[in-house]
């Protein structure tokens, strides 16, 4: 009779779980990708191309904006020693370690139309409405630049 050690049984179980949870879905997606029906439907619809182009240009501009923020910050923190440098460095790194949804919600609470900063400016300048509206590609780029500069 063959006696299996616990480590061998655990390794076999882990292999089965990985095969079921990782390899099988990859094979299913690969099989679905071999069917070109969806690809031909995508290629023939102009709305799909517009969405693809919007995604590509927003991604490219997001990278440029994040680099425009992140590179000067990196030089600032590398070249200069100033009071509160470690604390500020930790705060600047928050968008990197927080989940993206938390960053977006925090951004809206601060800068959104009913956010803290927007309301403070509205009260200080005695404005009837919020000083800005976050919508469209500009809002997406603003949030991306804010949340991705630490990754550049």
CB 95 within 8 A of CB 149: yes
- The percent of residues in the chain predicted with pLDDT above 70, rounded, is 95
Which pLDDT tens digit goes with each residue over 31-86? Answer: 888 888 878 888 888 888 999 999 999 999 999 998 998 899 888 888 988 898 88
Residue spans of the domains in the chain: they are: 36-151
Closest CA to 55 of 112, 137, 111: 137
Domain 36-151 carries which CATH code? 1.10.3720.10
Q: Please state, as a whole number, how many other Cβ atoms lie within 10 Å of the Cβ of residue 149.
A: 21
Closest CA to 151 of 61, 69, 54: 69
């Amino acid at each position: 009779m063959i006696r299996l050690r616990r480590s061998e049984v655990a390794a076999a179980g882990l292999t089965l779980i990985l095969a079921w949870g990782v390899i099988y879905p990859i094979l299913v997606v690969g099989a679905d990708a071999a069917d070109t029906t969806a690809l031909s439907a995508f290629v023939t619809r102009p709305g799909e191309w517009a969405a693809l182009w919007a995604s590509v240009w927003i991604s490219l501009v997001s990278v440029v904006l994040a680099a425009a923020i992140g590179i000067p910050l990196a030089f600032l923190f590398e070249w200069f020693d100033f009071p509160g440098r470690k604390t500020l460095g930790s705060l600047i790194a928050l968008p990197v370690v927080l989940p993206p949804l938390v960053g977006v919600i925090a951004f809206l609470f601060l800068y959104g139309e009913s956010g803290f900063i927007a309301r403070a400016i509205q009260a200080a300048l005695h404005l009837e409405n919020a000083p800005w509206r976050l919508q469209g590609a500009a809002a997406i780029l603003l949030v991306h630049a804010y949340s991705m500069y630490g990754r550049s």
